[in-house]
Amino acid sequence: MAPAAAAAEADAIDQSYFMNTAIPENAPAETTTANPRLCIELHELVKIYRMGDQEVHALDGVSFSAIKGEMTAIIGASGSGKSTLMNIIGCLDRPTSGRYMLDGEDVSVFSDNQLARIRNKRIGFVFQNFNLLPRNTALENVEMPLLYSASHNARHRAMEAMERVNLRDRAHHEPNQLSGGQRQRVAIARALVTNPTIVLADEPTGNLDSRTGNEIMQLFHDLNEQGVTLIIVTHEPDIAAHCRRIIIMRDGQIIDDKDTSDAAASKKSPRNDT
Ligand SMILES: Nc1ncnc2c1ncn2[C@@H]1O[C@H](COP(=O)(O)OP(=O)(O)OP(=O)(O)O)[C@@H](O)[C@H]1O
Ligand SMILES: [Mg+2]
Protein backbone atom coordinates (compact mmCIF):
# COMPACT_ATOMS: atom_id res chain seq x y z
CA MET A 1 0.00 0.00 0.00
CA ALA A 2 1.28 3.51 -0.79
CA PRO A 3 2.42 5.46 2.27
CA ALA A 4 -0.33 8.09 1.91
CA ALA A 5 -3.05 5.44 1.67
CA ALA A 6 -1.56 3.52 4.58
CA ALA A 7 -1.48 6.71 6.63
CA ALA A 8 -5.13 7.37 5.84
CA GLU A 9 -6.04 3.89 7.01
CA ALA A 10 -4.01 4.35 10.16
CA ASP A 11 -6.09 7.43 10.95
CA ALA A 12 -9.22 5.37 10.48
CA ILE A 13 -8.27 2.87 13.19
CA ASP A 14 -7.11 5.48 15.69
CA GLN A 15 -3.37 5.03 15.76
CA SER A 16 -2.91 8.61 16.91
CA TYR A 17 -0.58 7.54 19.71
CA PHE A 18 2.48 7.35 17.51
CA MET A 19 1.52 9.93 14.93
CA ASN A 20 2.64 13.43 14.48
CA THR A 21 2.08 16.04 11.90
CA ALA A 22 5.16 16.78 9.83
CA ILE A 23 7.70 17.53 12.52
CA PRO A 24 11.10 17.74 10.83
CA GLU A 25 13.77 15.37 12.11
CA ASN A 26 16.12 18.21 12.88
CA ALA A 27 13.60 20.15 14.98
CA PRO A 28 15.28 21.48 18.14
CA ALA A 29 14.98 19.28 21.22
CA GLU A 30 13.36 20.87 24.27
CA THR A 31 15.20 18.93 26.93
CA THR A 32 16.58 20.56 30.05
CA THR A 33 17.23 17.87 32.62
CA ALA A 34 17.69 18.68 36.30
CA ASN A 35 18.45 15.10 37.38
CA PRO A 36 19.57 13.16 34.31
CA ARG A 37 18.93 9.78 35.98
CA LEU A 38 15.22 10.41 36.42
CA CYS A 39 13.16 10.12 33.29
CA ILE A 40 9.69 10.29 34.86
CA GLU A 41 8.63 12.30 37.92
CA LEU A 42 4.97 12.40 38.86
CA HIS A 43 3.78 14.71 41.63
CA GLU A 44 0.30 14.30 43.07
CA LEU A 45 -1.39 13.44 39.79
CA VAL A 46 -5.17 13.65 39.87
CA LYS A 47 -7.42 12.62 37.00
CA ILE A 48 -11.12 13.25 37.28
CA TYR A 49 -13.49 12.16 34.52
CA ARG A 50 -16.74 14.13 34.53
CA MET A 51 -19.80 12.37 33.13
CA GLY A 52 -22.81 14.65 33.56
CA ASP A 53 -23.25 15.16 37.31
CA GLN A 54 -20.98 12.28 38.13
CA GLU A 55 -17.24 12.48 38.79
CA VAL A 56 -14.88 9.51 38.54
CA HIS A 57 -11.61 10.00 40.41
CA ALA A 58 -9.52 7.71 38.22
CA LEU A 59 -6.25 8.96 39.76
CA ASP A 60 -6.26 10.28 43.29
CA GLY A 61 -2.85 11.77 44.04
CA VAL A 62 -0.26 9.56 42.33
CA SER A 63 3.41 10.37 42.90
CA PHE A 64 6.43 8.37 41.80
CA SER A 65 9.72 8.64 39.98
CA ALA A 66 11.32 6.29 37.49
CA ILE A 67 15.04 6.06 36.86
CA LYS A 68 16.27 5.59 33.31
CA GLY A 69 16.71 1.92 32.49
CA GLU A 70 14.15 0.60 34.99
CA MET A 71 11.74 -2.20 34.15
CA THR A 72 8.55 -1.66 36.13
CA ALA A 73 5.24 -3.50 36.35
CA ILE A 74 2.01 -1.79 37.35
CA ILE A 75 -0.63 -4.14 38.70
CA GLY A 76 -4.00 -3.65 40.36
CA ALA A 77 -7.66 -4.55 40.06
CA SER A 78 -9.75 -3.58 37.05
CA GLY A 79 -10.70 0.09 37.31
CA SER A 80 -7.84 0.97 39.67
CA GLY A 81 -6.44 3.56 37.25
CA LYS A 82 -3.59 1.70 35.53
CA SER A 83 -4.47 2.65 31.95
CA THR A 84 -5.34 6.20 32.98
CA LEU A 85 -1.87 6.51 34.49
CA MET A 86 -0.20 4.98 31.43
CA ASN A 87 -2.08 7.35 29.11
CA ILE A 88 -0.80 10.32 31.07
CA ILE A 89 2.76 8.97 31.22
CA GLY A 90 2.53 8.38 27.46
CA CYS A 91 1.34 11.98 26.84
CA LEU A 92 -1.92 10.70 25.35
CA ASP A 93 -3.88 12.48 28.06
CA ARG A 94 -3.35 15.22 30.64
CA PRO A 95 -3.88 15.11 34.39
CA THR A 96 -6.67 17.20 35.92
CA SER A 97 -4.06 18.47 38.38
CA GLY A 98 -0.54 17.59 39.46
CA ARG A 99 2.77 17.79 37.71
CA TYR A 100 4.47 15.45 35.26
CA MET A 101 8.16 15.94 34.56
CA LEU A 102 9.49 13.91 31.62
CA ASP A 103 13.27 14.04 31.19
CA GLY A 104 13.28 17.15 33.37
CA GLU A 105 10.57 19.06 31.50
CA ASP A 106 7.14 19.87 32.86
CA VAL A 107 4.98 18.30 30.16
CA SER A 108 1.74 18.89 32.09
CA VAL A 109 1.70 22.39 30.60
CA PHE A 110 2.55 21.34 27.03
CA SER A 111 0.30 22.09 24.06
CA ASP A 112 -1.22 19.27 21.98
CA ASN A 113 1.47 19.74 19.34
CA GLN A 114 4.26 19.57 21.91
CA LEU A 115 2.75 16.41 23.40
CA ALA A 116 2.49 14.89 19.91
CA ARG A 117 6.17 15.60 19.35
CA ILE A 118 7.13 13.94 22.66
CA ARG A 119 5.03 10.88 21.82
CA ASN A 120 6.57 10.52 18.42
CA LYS A 121 10.17 10.98 19.50
CA ARG A 122 10.51 9.59 22.98
CA ILE A 123 7.74 7.12 23.75
CA GLY A 124 6.84 3.77 22.25
CA PHE A 125 3.48 2.09 22.91
CA VAL A 126 2.53 -1.56 22.96
CA PHE A 127 -1.11 -2.64 23.43
CA GLN A 128 -2.99 -5.80 24.29
CA ASN A 129 -4.65 -5.95 20.86
CA PHE A 130 -1.43 -5.23 18.92
CA ASN A 131 -3.20 -2.46 16.91
CA LEU A 132 -1.59 -3.47 13.63
CA LEU A 133 -2.97 -2.33 10.30
CA PRO A 134 -4.44 -5.54 8.85
CA ARG A 135 -3.79 -4.86 5.17
CA ASN A 136 -0.20 -3.73 5.53
CA THR A 137 2.83 -5.96 5.87
CA ALA A 138 4.68 -6.25 9.16
CA LEU A 139 7.43 -4.03 7.76
CA GLU A 140 4.97 -1.35 6.63
CA ASN A 141 3.37 -1.38 10.07
CA VAL A 142 6.75 -0.88 11.69
CA GLU A 143 7.60 1.92 9.29
CA MET A 144 4.37 3.79 10.04
CA PRO A 145 5.53 6.07 12.91
CA LEU A 146 8.41 7.28 10.73
CA LEU A 147 6.01 8.42 7.99
CA TYR A 148 4.69 11.05 10.40
CA SER A 149 8.03 12.60 11.19
CA ALA A 150 9.59 13.01 7.75
CA SER A 151 12.33 10.51 8.64
CA HIS A 152 15.11 9.49 6.31
CA ASN A 153 15.74 5.81 5.54
CA ALA A 154 12.37 4.80 6.95
CA ARG A 155 12.36 1.38 5.27
CA HIS A 156 15.89 0.59 6.42
CA ARG A 157 15.16 1.67 10.00
CA ALA A 158 11.97 -0.40 10.01
CA MET A 159 13.95 -3.47 8.96
CA GLU A 160 16.48 -2.80 11.74
CA ALA A 161 13.61 -2.72 14.23
CA MET A 162 12.31 -6.02 12.80
CA GLU A 163 15.76 -7.46 13.44
CA ARG A 164 15.69 -6.30 17.05
CA VAL A 165 12.61 -8.49 17.59
CA ASN A 166 14.06 -11.38 15.52
CA LEU A 167 11.42 -11.19 12.83
CA ARG A 168 13.35 -10.18 9.76
CA ASP A 169 12.11 -13.28 7.94
CA ARG A 170 8.47 -12.27 8.49
CA ALA A 171 8.83 -8.68 7.25
CA HIS A 172 6.57 -9.17 4.24
CA HIS A 173 3.85 -11.09 6.02
CA GLU A 174 0.55 -9.44 6.83
CA PRO A 175 -0.70 -9.61 10.43
CA ASN A 176 -3.15 -12.46 9.75
CA GLN A 177 -0.21 -14.53 8.46
CA LEU A 178 1.55 -14.24 11.83
CA SER A 179 1.08 -15.91 15.20
CA GLY A 180 -0.13 -13.85 18.18
CA GLY A 181 3.37 -13.67 19.64
CA GLN A 182 4.81 -12.60 16.28
CA ARG A 183 2.14 -9.90 15.95
CA GLN A 184 3.08 -8.54 19.33
CA ARG A 185 6.74 -8.57 18.31
CA VAL A 186 5.84 -6.54 15.22
CA ALA A 187 4.02 -4.10 17.52
CA ILE A 188 7.13 -3.93 19.70
CA ALA A 189 9.29 -3.27 16.63
CA ARG A 190 6.89 -0.43 15.72
CA ALA A 191 7.27 0.95 19.26
CA LEU A 192 11.07 0.81 18.91
CA VAL A 193 11.50 2.21 15.42
CA THR A 194 11.74 5.84 16.54
CA ASN A 195 14.35 4.90 19.16
CA PRO A 196 12.25 5.98 22.13
CA THR A 197 13.75 6.22 25.60
CA ILE A 198 10.58 4.82 27.19
CA VAL A 199 8.37 1.94 26.09
CA LEU A 200 4.92 1.67 27.68
CA ALA A 201 3.02 -1.59 27.38
CA ASP A 202 -0.60 -1.91 28.56
CA GLU A 203 -1.44 -5.62 29.06
CA PRO A 204 1.00 -6.70 26.29
CA THR A 205 0.54 -10.39 27.08
CA GLY A 206 -3.22 -10.26 27.74
CA ASN A 207 -4.10 -11.95 24.43
CA LEU A 208 -1.28 -14.50 24.47
CA ASP A 209 -0.91 -17.92 26.04
CA SER A 210 1.47 -18.07 28.98
CA ARG A 211 4.43 -19.50 27.04
CA THR A 212 4.19 -16.84 24.35
CA GLY A 213 3.63 -14.20 27.03
CA ASN A 214 6.85 -15.27 28.70
CA GLU A 215 8.71 -15.02 25.39
CA ILE A 216 7.45 -11.47 24.98
CA MET A 217 8.68 -10.69 28.49
CA GLN A 218 12.06 -12.17 27.58
CA LEU A 219 12.18 -9.77 24.64
CA PHE A 220 11.35 -6.88 26.98
CA HIS A 221 14.23 -8.03 29.22
CA ASP A 222 16.61 -7.93 26.25
CA LEU A 223 15.44 -4.42 25.33
CA ASN A 224 15.80 -3.32 28.93
CA GLU A 225 19.39 -4.58 28.92
CA GLN A 226 19.95 -2.40 25.84
CA GLY A 227 18.88 0.63 27.95
CA VAL A 228 15.17 0.99 27.18
CA THR A 229 13.06 2.08 30.16
CA LEU A 230 9.96 -0.11 30.35
CA ILE A 231 6.64 0.24 32.16
CA ILE A 232 4.30 -2.72 31.78
CA VAL A 233 0.70 -2.91 33.00
CA THR A 234 -0.49 -6.43 33.67
CA HIS A 235 -3.13 -8.41 35.53
CA GLU A 236 -0.88 -11.45 35.74
CA PRO A 237 1.44 -11.88 38.76
CA ASP A 238 3.70 -14.17 36.68
CA ILE A 239 4.24 -11.43 34.14
CA ALA A 240 4.78 -8.78 36.82
CA ALA A 241 7.37 -11.06 38.44
CA HIS A 242 9.65 -10.49 35.42
CA CYS A 243 10.02 -6.86 36.50
CA ARG A 244 12.39 -5.65 39.12
CA ARG A 245 10.01 -3.00 40.37
CA ILE A 246 6.32 -3.67 41.01
CA ILE A 247 3.82 -0.90 41.67
CA ILE A 248 0.38 -1.85 42.98
CA MET A 249 -2.58 0.45 42.41
CA ARG A 250 -5.94 0.54 44.12
CA ASP A 251 -8.74 3.08 43.71
CA GLY A 252 -6.56 5.55 41.83
CA GLN A 253 -3.68 5.42 44.28
CA ILE A 254 -0.33 3.64 44.53
CA ILE A 255 -0.63 1.40 47.58
CA ASP A 256 2.68 -0.44 47.22
CA ASP A 257 5.95 0.08 45.35
CA LYS A 258 8.50 -2.69 45.77
CA ASP A 259 11.90 -3.69 44.48
CA THR A 260 11.97 -7.43 43.80
CA SER A 261 15.46 -7.69 42.31
CA ASP A 262 16.18 -11.21 43.56
CA ALA A 263 12.85 -12.58 42.34
CA ALA A 264 13.30 -10.88 38.95
CA ALA A 265 16.79 -12.32 38.52
CA SER A 266 15.65 -15.85 39.29
CA LYS A 267 12.72 -15.56 36.85
CA LYS A 268 14.90 -14.92 33.84
CA SER A 269 14.82 -17.89 31.50
CA PRO A 270 17.02 -18.87 28.56
CA ARG A 271 16.09 -17.32 25.25
CA ASN A 272 13.43 -19.24 23.32
CA ASP A 273 12.62 -17.72 19.96
CA THR A 274 9.59 -18.65 17.89
N1 LIG B 1 -12.85 8.16 29.39
C2 LIG B 1 -13.38 7.89 30.58
N3 LIG B 1 -14.49 8.52 31.01
C4 LIG B 1 -15.01 8.25 32.23
N5 LIG B 1 -14.48 7.38 33.10
C6 LIG B 1 -13.37 6.73 32.74
C7 LIG B 1 -12.77 6.94 31.46
N8 LIG B 1 -11.67 6.14 31.38
C9 LIG B 1 -11.60 5.46 32.54
N10 LIG B 1 -12.61 5.82 33.35
C11 LIG B 1 -12.85 5.32 34.73
O12 LIG B 1 -11.66 5.55 35.45
C13 LIG B 1 -11.35 4.44 36.30
C14 LIG B 1 -9.97 3.92 35.98
O15 LIG B 1 -10.00 3.33 34.68
P16 LIG B 1 -8.73 2.65 34.00
O17 LIG B 1 -9.08 2.34 32.60
O18 LIG B 1 -7.55 3.51 34.24
O19 LIG B 1 -8.60 1.31 34.88
P20 LIG B 1 -7.60 0.09 34.69
O21 LIG B 1 -6.89 -0.09 36.01
O22 LIG B 1 -6.77 0.26 33.49
O23 LIG B 1 -8.62 -1.13 34.50
P24 LIG B 1 -8.47 -2.47 33.60
O25 LIG B 1 -7.55 -3.38 34.38
O26 LIG B 1 -9.87 -3.01 33.56
O27 LIG B 1 -7.94 -2.11 32.26
C28 LIG B 1 -12.47 3.44 36.10
O29 LIG B 1 -13.40 3.59 37.13
C30 LIG B 1 -13.07 3.82 34.76
O31 LIG B 1 -14.44 3.49 34.72
MG1 LIG C 1 -6.64 -0.78 31.64
CB atoms within 10 A of CB 236: 16
Cα distance from N-terminal residue to C-terminal residue, the chain: 28
User: Which stretches within the chain are classed as H helix?
Assistant: 3-12, 82-89, 112-122, 138-147, 154-164, 180-192, 210-225, 237-240, 261-267
pLDDT recorded at residue 150 = 72
Residue 274 is predicted with a pLDDT of 41
Q: Considering only CA atoms, which residue is closest to atom 2 of ligand 1? A: 49
Give the whole-angstrom CA distance, residue 112 versus residue 251: 28
Question: Closest ligand 1 atom, CA of 85?
Answer: 18
Angle at 120 between CA 207 and CA 85, to 5 degrees: 55
Other C-beta atoms lying within 10 Å of the C-beta of residue 138: 28
3-class secondary structure per residue, 211-248: HHHHHHHHHHHHHHHCCCEEEEECCCHHHHCCCCEEEE
Ligand 1 pocket residue status of 120, Cβ below 6 Å: no
Pairing of strands 123-127, 198-202: parallel
Residue 78 near ligand 1, beta carbon < 6 Å: yes
Nearest atom, ligand 1, residue 50 CA:
4
Q: What is the pLDDT of residues 39-92, one digit of tens each?
A: 999 999 999 999 999 999 999 999 999 999 999 999 999 999 999 999 999 999
| Residue minimizing CA distance to atom 8 of ligand 1 | 84
**Residue numbers in the chain where pLDDT is lower than 70:** 1-34, 262-274
Q: State which residues have CB under 5 angstroms from ligand 2, the bound ion.
A: 83
Residue 271: predicted pLDDT = 47
Of 67, 191, 204, give the one whose Cα is nearest residue 123. 191
- Domains and their CATH numbers in the chain: 3-19+68-92+117-267 (3.40.50.300)
Contact 242, 73 (CB under 8 A): yes
> Residues in the chain, how many?
274
User: How confident is the model at residue 4, as a pLDDT?
Assistant: 52
Pocket test of ligand 1: the residue of 83, 92, 93, 129 to mutate, having most ligand atoms within 8 Å of its CB, is: 83
Q: Whose CA is nearest to atom 17 of ligand 1?
A: 83
Residue 56 near ligand 1, beta carbon < 6 Å = yes
> Which atom of ligand 1 is found nearest the CA of 76?
21
Q: Whose CA is nearest to atom 25 of ligand 1?
A: 78
